Structure 1
Amino acid sequence: MPTKKPTATDAPVHLPLPASALCGQCDASTLGFETTAEITEANGVIGQQRAIEAIEFALGMDKPGYNLFAVGPRGTGKYRLVRGLVEQAAANRTGELDWAYVYNFDDERRPCALSLPAGRGEVLAEAMKKLVHDSRAALTSAFSGEDYRNAVQAIQDDVERRQNAALEELRAQAAAKNITLLNTPMGMGFAPLADGKVMEPENFNQLPEEDRKRIEEDIRDLQEGLRVAMQKMPAVLREVRERIETLNEETAEFATGGLVRAVQQSFSDLEAVATYLERVHADLKDSVDLFLKAQKPPEDDRGPSRGPEADSFFRRYLVNLIVEHKDGAPAPVVYEDEPTYERLIGRIEQRVEMGTLVTDFSMIRAGALHRANGGYLLLDARKVLMQPMAWEALKRALRAGEVRIEPVFGAMGLPVTTMLEPEAIPLQVKIVLLGEGNIYYPLHAYDPDFPGLFKVMADFDERVVRDDATVQKMARLIAARARSESLRPFHRNAVARLIDDMSREEEDSERLSANVEHLTDLMREADYLAGKTGHDVVTAGDVNDAVDAGRRRVSRINERMQAEIMRQTMLIDTAGAVVGQINGLSVYTIGAAAFGKPSRITARVWLGRGDVLDIERTVALGGPLHSKGVLILSGYLGAQYSQDMPLSLSASLVFEQSYGGVDGDSASSAELYALLSALAEAPIFQHFAVTGSVNQRGQVQAIGGVNEKIEGYFDLCDRRGLSGKQGVLIPTANVKHLMLDRRVVEAVEARKFHIHAVSSIDQGIEILTGVAAGKADENGLFPPGSINARVAARLHGFAEARQRFGQPPRWESGT
């Protein structure tokens, strides 16, 4: 049979991609194990060498401002990696300090901060608890004992004796003058006697005037003596008080001095603690009267009083240990999951007493900065920024090098009720913030304090190169996660399937996603399905089922769109050929779902002034990137076909049945194909769908979401029935991104579906129309009958028609 000779309009054969190019598959036989149970040494990190170097540098740099910001998308294992490296660094540091607040004997509103070597704080706190307990018992016993009562009674008896002696002397003087000293409701006074009895007023008035005057004079002299005697009494009473105070101090010293000295001896090597204990010792003696006032009379022999006044008195000697460490323990590593203002810098609690809020130094509570002092504090940057005043408080503490506890309203400059003002605690801590790039870069640009406080950035990559080394590391990461999550062992085929899914997650057959969270979730789901089917080892089928189940859970909207196309509510052709009409492909992302959807794109052309009208842009439905792609089409048409004539067409492009916004330039190649088809009047095969952007030179460029776009069109064709002609045109640059579902790969392998990779508009238009594009010769002429020749001829016709319309009638020109 003779072979047909090709003509100028016959398109060259463009072979579709083989099935092997559609999905990079991991060879399970190269993994070197049967199941992950055989892997004993598993590494939980893959890649991130740049980030690891930055973290180690920040942890080793012991200078102000070298705090760390770990930047990267969620799921890349930032926290796990950072926490592990921080704990390694913390293990090499010891000698951290315990911190406590104690009573300020000079000003109770300003509690004093006390630092002790690690482990000594708890010892001091327990020693002071015991001191309070023993002192309470000793003081109660001493001041309720017979010796103390006898000593007090002796002092009181001495005063009474001295008082009685003075009064007896006055009575003797009065008796010598026949006058007596009386105790009356109005006080002490004198009265004359008659026959040994107080003289009645009537009898006194009957006395001769001379006798009355003498008696009155004698009474005045005696009253003056009484007044002098009474004036001496305050001094006597003061002397008595002083003697009792001295007795109380001596008794308190006798009762508690040995107890305090025992504690002092235990902490004699710590100057600050020794000074504090001296103040405690002095205050126990000086304030014993407060104890006696607060003490309730014991009702039996069960021990000292436990009344609230007594508790308040002894509370001042307790130690509020807010931060404690074990002796020899590593430096603290703290992660604060809820970094509010108070959880960061601490707070002062209050209690209700008699309907009133009260507080004291014992109600001061540590914040995360206190607990991490001397070590490392890990924080989620987003959570810190979302809490009122937390970010400013953190920066203020880092700048000042100290933690000062104050109410949040005070920090905002608002008036607050009188509260404690605890002494600030020196701060030496390494802060590690974890967050995404959309947090780090604005902070670096707009917060003037940020660059000086966080000098080191650990940049986590969301993907790694897929090679033999990283595949092995990924396999060991899977083994590590299976062990840490208490999952069943994974068969090597399941591991290979998981690795392939990590490439699909990254949409790149030459890369692996570093999203460890996604990997772990898929492993958990596959393990669950393996348990339901009774598998002791997770198989590749379990992983496939988990992937399919995950997609199905979020596929409702996609299936509804596919159903509306099947019902022809939305018009999409998958057979036939139409001029100026093409199937473009878009990606929709709704929540966790991402799926491809075909859209009909149409083009119409007519005589005009070189305008390509983007209907989407005109009605404000097109985004800037989409509008840019349409404007590029004008540049391509002008450079390709209108070097020697004006571009004299008008054209309109539209996404049919599009009722929402359209953005991105991934449909610009499809729009150009539709435009060329309309100009050349060459029908486009509707069994193809197209994606790819285009530049002014006609080169087809890479786009995103290529897998979802192909699978979206494949699902529609599969529902309608695969004809063996249907397929998708993608940019050649996207071939390396193909990680298609096994259903698509199997259909391509069976030659029921085709995927073509094109690098230029000429290649694409030849596949879509079956007509050669045509290449210009040295004179700039295209082969007759080719697409480019037909487009050029149409544009020449437009230009000539425009010129004819622009010429005046002959009678106007005078010919």
Structure 2
Amino acid sequence: MPAPKPLSMNRLYRSFPAEYLDFVSTDKLDELALPWGQEQAMRALEFGASIANHGFNLYVLATRGTGARELVQAYLKRRAEQAECPPDWCYVFNFKSPEEPLALSLPAGEGHRFRADLHMLIDELRSGVAAVFESEEYQGRLQELQDEFNERQQKSIDEIGEEAARDDIALISTPTGFTLAPMRDGDVIDPDEYEKLDADERKRIEARIVELQRKLQQAVQQMPRLRKQLRKRIRALNEEMMTFALGGPMGELKERWSHLPAVLEHLERVREDVVENAGAFHGRRGAGPPGELLDRYRANLLVDNAELNGAPVVYEDLPNHHHLVGRIEHQVRDGALYTDFSMIRAGALHRANGGYLLLDVRRVLTHPMAWESLKRVLSAGEIRIESLERTYGLASTTSLQPACIPLSIKVVLLGDRLLYYLLAHYDPDFGELFKVEADFEDQVEWREEDGALHVRLVATLARGAGIRPLDGAATGRLIEHASRLAGDQRKITARDRLLRDVLMEADHWAASAGAVMITREHLEQALDESRGRVDRVRRRALEQIQRGIVIVATSGQVVGQVNGLAVSRLGKLSFGLPARITATARPGRGQIVDIEREAKLGGPIHSKAVMILSRYIASRFAASAELSLSASLAFEQNYGGIEGDSASVAEVCALLSAIARVPLKQCLAVTGSINQHGEVQAVGGVNEKIEGFFDVCANAGPVDGHGVLMPASNIDHLMLDGRVREAVAAGRFAIYPIRRVEEAIELLTGMAPGEPDDQGRYPEGSFGHRVAQRLAEFTRINRPDRTRSRQGGAGEGPDQGDGSNGSEDDALAER
């Protein structure tokens, strides 16, 4: 098997084609319609926005920084301009049930006019109607009714008095009512004189008084009926006068709103209430009716779509319960909470009704009960404004229960993929309410034939950010940086925000230099400055290696030791550094101890990788026999934890080196994952890892003869820094693509790995032969121990004795 050749310069970096950069400034380029490269997501968005069936709301899956919210919002606004404008909504007083305000729907823009009309009506009630009730005509007619009532009441009393006088009985009015007494010659008889009358006379008088008292009682009992008749006639008078006073204004209103039956019905209720409360309009001129009465006739304009051009598109940045479904406000009056229909406030669902509502799903989920309220509204198809206290029975105070408003809306949730998968798995309502997924790509294809589109994309980003134009070299460098962010020569990142940030920083440095255009130098300065601001941790780590505090060998050869490569990600900072991996080997029972796992510093993926490499060694060097080995693996000076399988190639090389006692070159570092067949698999962060090892080697001295072994399947992911490319071009640094573990062994040891024949024997002088020899020695060492354990286990089955001692040997080996 020939050793891998180092990669050539053209495999380490993909440069943007120069033929697309023959322009002076991006100002000369046409804009590119965004979003570019998101055709599938936009088709899903178009479908979700157009389908009207229940439950077909959208979930936009997008990584932060892709500008998905701006793209979706811009698309929906364009679509909304072609849609019909939804109606206005008002809450008005419910005269039948005051605690349940009524909701009125009016054509868009007419809600404001309706509110103004009612305000004018109130002004008329406050001044004109009160003046009518104070007019001489009304007072005269009211006095006539009062006089007629008094006359009829007095007439019945006078008739009884005349009848009593004919019988010499006086009808006397007292503060408590009326009384009857005998009289003679027009004067009431004294009680002493009354006693002197004979018994028959007294009996006649008393009988007559009883009869007159009965008639008097009947007359008094007729008075409430007369008063009722009086009130009825006064009410009729009030209605007549109120109709006269409101005839003009109310007639105009009814004529103006004749096309809306619900408004006409409400105006009629207002008229009836004004008539019923006509007494409140009496009083001195200028005093007017009480404000609380007039406030009942106002309209609370909940949603005003007068300024809309099409359907609404609303983004709610604080999606809690009240901001979504609305709220009922309260005022403190005389130490108590007071509210009415005028204190009802709209939520985002009201404002977006008839259009589109955009929500950040993470923010919705972090506000208590907001997610449940949103689902309830979407399921019910109507908006019910209710406080959380009443919804969940936390308060029993009386409050308003506004009428529900029908809902016709398309809700668009914006969130990452993890939240989508969690909701789809754990919330059964989610799949019923959000049936359309629009998945935005994190990366888009970098095709050679799309070069003209790429430069137009940069021009569009620059114009959108409001910065200076770029020259051709700067444009090409930005596209190359986009490929580095994607970690793939065939892709560029779709996270426009990251590119826009670089452009704005480059514009700052161009402004500082007094330049009218952003050049490649300004862009490089922006990238360097941006890295330098967050680079402190990486610099300190390199310093510790350089000073020998963290031991990393970059020269010589060592048995059982290799330079692995790891990536650290801290916020925006991502960098790679070598990690010293060591291994030990001794006779044992086929156990490989992962010290990181035993110390609870290794993650499950790393533990899996160690198990895989142990099976690879067993299948390659002990395919038909027991593996007599007790080994250990460790990441030296690691105190923070290890996760991932990208060091498994390095680990197996260190372990085989420890077994064969063949030293490994420390001038090389290794990264790559291994499977059970010894194939090397792709890993992440190859650019950061290579650059990290290059920096360590450069700090230690000349980089001549140093290099990195990486999976061949990662070649397309290389977008290396210029310093590394220069060293490779000069032949001082090498990057080797490997496909199998044996290729790594050959590069690290300088020995041929060797291939086993049909008998499992390796060629003399090969690395595989050295490993096989050492494992055979381990087997011979283990064999006497097993014989003694069988002899010592007389009386037991041989399998039992072997298994028992084997377990003890394994425990000793682990210790």
Deviation at 1:741, TM superposition (A): 2.1
Give the SS at the match of 2:428: coil
Query: Residue 288 in 1 paired to residue 287 in 2?
Result: no
- The correspondence of residues 686-701 of structure 1 with structure 2, limited to 5 A, is 686-701=666-681
State which drifts further: 335-344 or 772-781.
Answer: 772-781
Rounded to whole Å, the distance in 1 between the matches of 2:307 and 2:573 is 53
Q: Which residue of 2 aligns with 1:26?
A: 16
Rounded to whole Å, the distance in 2 between the matches of 1:296 and 1:592 is 75
Change (3 A) 1:260 1:808: closer
Change (3 A) 1:225 1:761: closer
Change (3 A) 1:210 1:679: closer
Query: Contact 1:46 / 1:470 at 8 angstroms: preserved in 2?
Result: no
State which drifts further: 580-589 or 323-332.
Answer: 323-332
Rounded to whole Å, the distance in 2 between the matches of 1:354 and 1:802 is 94
Query: Residue 366 in 1 paired to residue 346 in 2?
Result: yes
Q: String of CA shifts for 1:272-304, please: whole Å, max 9, x gaps.
A: 33333333333333x233xx23x4733x5xx45
Change (3 A) 1:723 1:420: closer
Q: Which residue of 1 aligns with 2:727?
A: 747
Rounded to whole Å, the distance in 2 between the matches of 1:481 and 1:425 is 42
Q: Which residue of 2 aligns with 1:146?
A: 136
Match of 2:283 among 297, 300, 307: 297
Rounded to whole Å, the distance in 2 between the matches of 1:794 and 1:218 is 146
TM-score after normalising by structure 1: 0.90
Query: Contact 1:248 / 1:288 at 8 angstroms: preserved in 2?
Result: no
Deviation at 1:673, TM superposition (A): 1.4
Give the SS at the match of 1:596: strand
Change (3 A) 1:62 1:221: closer
Match of 1:313 among 293, 303, 308: 293
Query: Contact 1:775 / 1:782 at 8 angstroms: preserved in 2?
Result: yes
Q: String of CA shifts for 1:332-351, please: whole Å, max 9, x gaps.
A: 11111112122222222222
Q: Which residue of 2 aligns with 1:53?
A: 43
Q: String of CA shifts for 1:373-421, please: whole Å, max 9, x gaps.
A: 2211111112222222222222222222222222223333555322222
Q: Which residue of 1 aligns with 2:801?
A: none
Change (3 A) 1:466 1:327: closer
Deviation at 1:808, TM superposition (A): 6.7
Q: Which residue of 2 aligns with 1:8?
A: none
Give the SS at the match of 1:449: helix
Query: Contact 2:703 / 2:732 at 8 angstroms: preserved in 1?
Result: yes
Match of 2:487 among 489, 507, 510: 507
- The correspondence of residues 265-664 of structure 1 with structure 2, limited to 5 A, is 265-285=255-275, 287-289=276-278, 292-293=279-280, 295=281, 297-298=283-284, 303=286, 305=288, 310-326=290-306, 329-414=309-394, 416-643=396-623, 645-664=625-644
Deviation at 1:210, TM superposition (A): 8.7
Change (3 A) 1:204 1:598: same
State which drifts further: 226-235 or 722-731.
Answer: 226-235
Query: Contact 1:725 / 1:753 at 8 angstroms: preserved in 2?
Result: yes
Query: Contact 1:369 / 1:403 at 8 angstroms: preserved in 2?
Result: yes
Rounded to whole Å, the distance in 1 between the matches of 2:73 and 2:478 is 26
The amino acid that maps onto 2:283 is: P
Query: Contact 2:30 / 2:456 at 8 angstroms: preserved in 1?
Result: no
Deviation at 1:238, TM superposition (A): 2.0
The amino acid that maps onto 2:470 is: F
State which drifts further: 197-206 or 788-797.
Answer: 197-206
State which drifts further: 139-148 or 483-492.
Answer: 483-492
Q: Which residue of 1 aligns with 2:56?
A: 66
Deviation at 1:214, TM superposition (A): 7.8
Deviation at 1:682, TM superposition (A): 2.1
Q: Which residue of 2 aligns with 1:159?
A: 149
Deviation at 1:744, TM superposition (A): 2.4
Query: Contact 1:380 / 1:435 at 8 angstroms: preserved in 2?
Result: yes
Give the SS at the match of 1:410: helix
Rounded to whole Å, the distance in 2 between the matches of 1:367 and 1:485 is 32
Rounded to whole Å, the distance in 1 between the matches of 2:327 and 2:140 is 49
Rounded to whole Å, the distance in 2 between the matches of 1:229 and 1:780 is 133
Change (3 A) 1:201 1:28: farther
Query: Residue 107 in 1 paired to residue 97 in 2?
Result: yes
Q: Which residue of 2 aligns with 1:250?
A: 240
Deviation at 1:454, TM superposition (A): 1.6
Query: Contact 2:21 / 2:473 at 8 angstroms: preserved in 1?
Result: no
Rounded to whole Å, the distance in 1 between the matches of 2:118 and 2:505 is 55
The amino acid that maps onto 1:47 is: G
Rounded to whole Å, the distance in 1 between the matches of 2:174 and 2:308 is 78
Q: String of CA shifts for 1:409-461, please: whole Å, max 9, x gaps.
A: 33335553222222222222112111111111122222222222222111111
Q: String of CA shifts for 1:516-572, please: whole Å, max 9, x gaps.
A: 121122222222222223222222222222222222222222222222222222111
Rounded to whole Å, the distance in 2 between the matches of 1:730 and 1:343 is 53
Q: Runs of 5+ in structure 2 lacking a partner?
A: 793-815
Rounded to whole Å, the distance in 2 between the matches of 1:202 and 1:532 is 126
Change (3 A) 1:523 1:296: farther
Q: Which residue of 2 aligns with 1:787?
A: 767
State which drifts further: 600-609 or 188-197.
Answer: 188-197
Change (3 A) 1:223 1:696: closer
Give the SS at the match of 1:41: coil
Query: Contact 2:315 / 2:359 at 8 angstroms: preserved in 1?
Result: yes
Change (3 A) 1:779 1:226: closer
Give the SS at the match of 1:113: strand
Rounded to whole Å, the distance in 1 between the matches of 2:315 and 2:737 is 50
Rounded to whole Å, the distance in 2 between the matches of 1:454 and 1:642 is 55
Give the SS at the match of 1:265: helix
Change (3 A) 1:797 1:217: closer
Rounded to whole Å, the distance in 2 between the matches of 1:429 and 1:469 is 42
Change (3 A) 1:228 1:553: same
Rounded to whole Å, the distance in 2 between the matches of 1:113 and 1:366 is 12
Q: String of CA shifts for 1:622-649, please: whole Å, max 9, x gaps.
A: 2222122222222222333334544222
Aligned length: 791
Change (3 A) 1:650 1:215: closer
The amino acid that maps onto 2:344 is: I
Rounded to whole Å, the distance in 2 between the matches of 1:95 and 1:465 is 39
Give the SS at the match of 2:44: helix
The amino acid that maps onto 1:527 is: D
Give the SS at the match of 2:589: coil
Query: Contact 2:58 / 2:435 at 8 angstroms: preserved in 1?
Result: yes
Q: String of CA shifts for 1:619-678, please: whole Å, max 9, x gaps.
A: 322222212222222222233333454422222211111223222111111111112222
Query: Contact 1:502 / 1:513 at 8 angstroms: preserved in 2?
Result: yes
Rounded to whole Å, the distance in 2 between the matches of 1:106 and 1:345 is 25
Q: Which residue of 2 aligns with 1:90?
A: 80
Query: Contact 1:783 / 1:789 at 8 angstroms: preserved in 2?
Result: yes
Q: Which residue of 2 aligns with 1:4?
A: none
Q: Which residue of 1 aligns with 2:7?
A: 17
Rounded to whole Å, the distance in 2 between the matches of 1:730 and 1:773 is 18
Q: Which residue of 1 aligns with 2:806?
A: none
The amino acid that maps onto 1:768 is: L
Q: Which residue of 2 aligns with 1:729?
A: 709
Q: String of CA shifts for 1:791-812, please: whole Å, max 9, x gaps.
A: 2222233334434555579x99
Q: String of CA shifts for 1:256-285, please: whole Å, max 9, x gaps.
A: 133222111112222333333333333333
Q: Which residue of 2 aligns with 1:238?
A: 228
